Amino acid sequence: MKLAVLGATGGTGVQVLRRACAAGHDVTAVVRDPARLPAGLPGLTVVTANAMDPDAIGGAVSGRDAVISAIGPRDGRAPTTVCADSAAAIVTAMRRAGVRRLAVVSNSGMHVDDRDGPLTRYVVKPILKRVLAHAYADMRRMEDLVAATELDWTIVRPPMLTNGAHTGRYRTELGRNVRGGNRIARADLADALLRCLADPRTVRVAVTVAN
């Protein structure tokens, strides 16, 4: 599969690159600073561009089978529009290039449903919503923007991210939270992102993933 990965130097983005390259995909990483990328990844093409500029990323998106955005804020407590702004640019670039498949990383912390236990629903998530109010507002705008498009999108919602090793043992739910799911390794999130791209059940669906 020919993939474009944005946010490729972040914790999740690096794991996506590692797993996608190891699986033999043709991967283009769109980055601001190529020096932050891991060395020696087979089949990797690097494009230096501003992900907020649809003209700048157009060439990297063109001809791809799918686009993954792992862009997220560096400081979840500070005002930010990075997720929504990058999503708008990516959608514009994909429309121009005629590319339809898109997967974006959001979060499950801002979504509450009956799969959450009482502690999570009434204590943990309300605290997170206050502490991470700016990041959550930005991601909600991103979700709304992506979901309103005609693209074949998937919104992937992980809980707290860790730097643990890849296990391949995680759970997914379509359109609802994972019961008791409060964390996932970035390596497993990367695995889930790649699997979603090949799974027609996840098209135009929000997928929650957790260990």
Domains located in the chain, CATH noted: 2-210 (3.40.50.720)
Residues 124-146 pLDDT 10s: 999 999 999 999 999 999 999 99
Side chain identity at residue 72, one-letter code: G
Vertex 111 angle, CA 145 and 181, to 5°: 125
Whether the per-residue pLDDT at 74 is higher than 90: the answer is: no
* Cβ pair 83, 72 in contact under 8 A: yes
SS3 27: strand
This prediction has a pTM of: 0.95
Residues 152-204 pLDDT 10s: 999 999 999 999 999 999 999 999 999 999 999 999 999 999 999 999 999 99
Residues 41-61 pLDDT 10s: 998 999 999 999 999 999 999
CA distance 153 to 39: 30
Which residue has tokens 């009482």?
118
Q: What integer best gives the mean pLDDT of the chain?
A: 96
Among the listed residues 68, 90, 64, the one whose alpha carbon sits nearest the alpha carbon of residue 13: 68
* Cβ pair 67, 102 in contact under 8 A: yes
Residue 55 makes CB contacts below 8 A (sequence gap 6+) with 93
